[in-house]
Structure 1
């Protein structure tokens, strides 16, 4: 704010939205890839049972939480971007 600028650059904010969208998509893609492999891998025994029954489902839950958080952040940035555009138009 030392330069007297207050607000945001809508183009920069759109780039942030795009980056957040890419991150969300990459996490979802990686999660699907691992999930498909975890369900199809030939692996038997207690370690497999632990991985398939709790380790991977817990990790998947954490990744879903990250996706939810990033989606919320993206929504807030989108809202702030639109508010900046609206304020600048006045």
Structure 2
């Protein structure tokens, strides 16, 4: 290989490596697209995420089911209740 082709290969390899690292880093930094107007809780969302967008619940219940701690939030304006299992949304139901 000549020096010129070796240099082009090195530059190409460096650019490809840079692109792979750059895309890997920024694909892992996803931002949620929620705001208070369009947020709707989904199974797996955390309690703090629900409270961030909807505020504190109008009412809440807590109980143990065996060793599991269950918390239920009631949002009367939205007409729903949300059950949390281990601080994550488990079930969403209508009031």
TM-score by length of 1: 0.35
Name the structure where helix makes up a greater proportion of residues.
Answer: 1
Bigger-Rg structure (1/2): 2
Name the structure where strand makes up a greater proportion of residues.
Answer: 2
Structure with the greater relative contact order (CA < 8 A, sep ≥ 6): 1 or 2?
1
TM-score by length of 2: 0.33
